[in-house]
């Protein structure tokens, strides 16, 4: 009998995928329309345009910007389009919504950048535990992305997995 310890997990043909590698690392900031409204409630086109033209947009250089309005005001659609026209040349990306929406959209873009064909006919374990909070939306998205390609998809750690999908 041999006393050699064999790491069967390391020898297995499983591919481990850690969603933390696709976690957004970019800074997300908010652009709120509220301070640019008359009495923080009413959009006056002439004043709104003037405020945006004199605004320092370079503070958003290379950042992901979530555009929102925290005031309970009726904002015409063109106002968001106008803000986007100023932000687009400087920001890395911009989205309509709050910080959570921007984070989710960026996370989904990062997952979308995965070349799923690299997982063709492979057994994939999507890592389940880590240091960063990975939302359920990300696990659903990676499953959608890999299912047409992978031989099987599991959740957890290579030593202890929960089967999710198996191509028959």
Q: For residue range 55-110, what is the model confidence (pLDDT) as tens digits?
A: 999 999 999 999 999 999 999 999 999 999 999 999 999 999 999 999 999 999 99
Given pLDDT bands bounded at 50, 70 and 90, which one contains residue 12?
Answer: low
Which residues have C-beta within 8 Å of that of residue 49, sequence separation ≥ 6?
A: 82
Which secondary-structure segment (H or E) carries 127?
A: strand 123-127
- Average pLDDT of the chain? 90
Helical axes 99-112 vs 136-146, angle rounded to 10° = 20
Strand partners, 64: 28, 93
Q: For residue range 20-60, what is the model confidence (pLDDT) as tens digits?
A: 999 998 889 999 999 999 898 899 999 999 999 999 999 99
Which residues have C-beta within 8 Å of that of residue 127, sequence separation ≥ 6?
A: 16, 17, 18, 19, 20, 156, 157
Q: For position 63, what pLDDT does the model report?
A: 94
Q: Under DSSP, is residue 11 helix (H, G, I), strand (E, B) or coil?
A: helix
């Amino acid at each position: 009998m041999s006393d050699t310890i064999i790491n069967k997990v390391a020898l297995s043909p499983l591919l481990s995928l850690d969603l933390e590698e696709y976690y957004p690392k970019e800074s997300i900031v908010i652009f709120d329309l509220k301070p640019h409204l008359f009495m923080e409630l009413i959009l006056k086109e002439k004043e709104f345009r003037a405020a945006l033209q004199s605004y320092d947009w370079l503070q958003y250089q290379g950042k992901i910007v979530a555009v929102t309005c925290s005031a309970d005001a009726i904002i015409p659609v063109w106002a968001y389009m106008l803000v986007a026209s100023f932000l687009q040349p400087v920001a890395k990306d911009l989205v309509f919504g709050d910080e959570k929406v921007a984070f989710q959209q960026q996370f989904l873009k990062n997952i979308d950048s995965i070349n799923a064909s690299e997982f063709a006919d492979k057994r994939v374990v999507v890592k389940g535990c880590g240091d960063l909070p990975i939302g359920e939306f990300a696990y659903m998205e990676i499953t959608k992305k890999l299912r047409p390609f992978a031989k099987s998809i599991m959740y957890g750690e290579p030593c202890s997995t929960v089967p999710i999908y198996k191509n028959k």
